[in-house]
Structure 1
Amino acid sequence: MSKSTLESLLPTGAIAAQPSYVVLPRASESSTVYPTVLAFLIDKFPQISPSAWDQRIKEGKVHWQDGQSIDCQSEYAATKRVYYYREVAVEKKVPFTEQILYQDDHKIIVYKPHFLPVTPGGNYVNECLVHRLRIRTGIDTIAPAHRLDKDTAGVMLMTVNPDTRHAYHQLFLDGKIKKTYQAVAELPQDFALNQTMLPHHWTVKNRLERGTPSFIMQIVDGPSNSHSEITLLKINNNLGLFELEPVTGKTHQLRVHMQSLGMPLLHDRFYPRLQAKDDDDFDKPLQLLAQRLQFVDPITNEVNDWCSEGLTM
């Protein structure tokens, strides 16, 4: 698909230019029997009104993987993919720009700014890294090889070629990617270290499970399933600059591990207490940066070592 074609898909309202999809579960995976695709969508996405789904279907915004339109009477078909276009009433622009650090036929190395989601989510449908890169490069097969929270900035690996995408995913599954983060946190009032005692190191291992609400993680009893290596590099008044190496990759792992040390990240709206949902404050980004990404390319066998500028305090 050409760049001009992609640009023509950009809506005047907040409607995603790229479709999302959901796989219809088998009967053994669901406690409900759905007569139609519409009934499933209404139950799956309760935050969207039944009338809104009805209208989207009538406007041709819901279809099967082959592009065939789904109507209000289309029968439920387990394991098939249903494609739809996310919509929000208002989509706020993220006033920061991504940077392409490197590009070849198989991958793109990119710097993602704070506040920009990697893929559509929440109140963001077109303001996401994947869509921006597809528009910018004219390549509609770009997809992320790994996750990075919306609030976190840093270096990311994006795949370009669907035929070799699995090889990059396998790097993460096999633990052959090394990720190094930087963070700034407020030090406890009774913190006894000074510059002459640095660097200071912690090994954090515990069990993380989803809390309430489900996007919040919490430490629970049981065998550890998360592991981070954390080093304090520098102290400036009551702030500390940290280097963090996640050995495992649980959601919000570094944020929760820093909180467990009594040093939650600066401008963290989730930990230690979930703050009321509000518009993003672009002047107060979460002080967490995926600064460095190291791996051996599975296609070219070349050593890759990508690094961004660090945080300041």
Structure 2
Amino acid sequence: MRKRNVFYSLFFFLHLLQQASSDVHSISGYFLGSQGLNLPDYMERITVDDVGMYYYDSTMNAEVPCPEWLNTTEGQEHWKDINLISLDNRHRFASSLQSAILQFNLTGSSSNVNVYQGVGRCSLYPDGTLKAVLTHAFNGEDFLSFDIDTKTFIASVPQAVIYKRQREENPVFLEHLTFFYKKTCFERLKILLQHAPAVNMKKVPEVRLFKRTKAGSKVLTCHVTGFYPRDVQVEWVGAGLQSVEEEMVDVLPNGDGTYQTRRSVIRPEENPEEHKYSCVVHHSSVAGNVTKTWEEHSGLAAWIWISLICFFLAIAGTGLLFRRLCKTKDVGI
């Protein structure tokens, strides 16, 4: 069970599921120290609105070069600071990991899987509100958090108390950390929002419709992918449609900076050929919406055309390859 939680936690670190709304701008830092995984001992990634800005890990021997688009003196100073903080974080997370392993009495074989994570985020809301958080987790469970107003760490579990005290022994460190989450990170966010070209890109969603049978019912699925920014609305329109209650409707990253999601409905069984069902997608990259319509007879028409093509190819005697194509049952529409 513990290993499953560790890998579940690692999955979300690698895929970075953050932004709830495109109206909120955030700079986020993800820090991970690990043991027993085929990964670098330490990894760090910084994103702005889910777009990767910076990556560093313990196998890298040189500083991460400043991108060409960050060509202001202030921006380059921030980038230099990011590199310096990464080196400090690397050593700090090695200590954090070993402290947690010791307090949870998990010392032993080096093949044991243990993961120590940190997430720091500064968010700027449309009304000008600023919000910052810093939390730590060990093996997928809450471990420690930082209260910016009181400049103290809060232990989520008894095993974190010793490490909390160690962190609070250094008042200079606490002042620097507080200043960073009250001011520096917001300045950095504004600079990157202004200069990073990828933050302001928009990509139009691709919409595909599928049908499958589930527990005797016909289920229509609208798969929406390749869009950016993350905020999207997807809905089915048509008579008699029922939602699939157990379906997860999260927006998930594709790995290339774009996102995907899906919505499924149960189609009525009676006279489906008399109805049209449409998936309507609203996204900021499109004026209006993207609409795809499922028509039951469109599937039949596709099968007719396939059968006719196969028939004429067979008559022409064009070879085994085409006959195999005609025998194939798994043809997508």
**Fold match, TM over 0.5?**
no
Q: Which structure dedicates a bigger proportion of its chain to helix?
A: 2
Please tell me the TM-score bracket, short chain as reference. Answer: under 0.3
Specify which structure has the higher proportion of strand.
2
Give the greater-gyration-radius structure (CA). Answer: 2
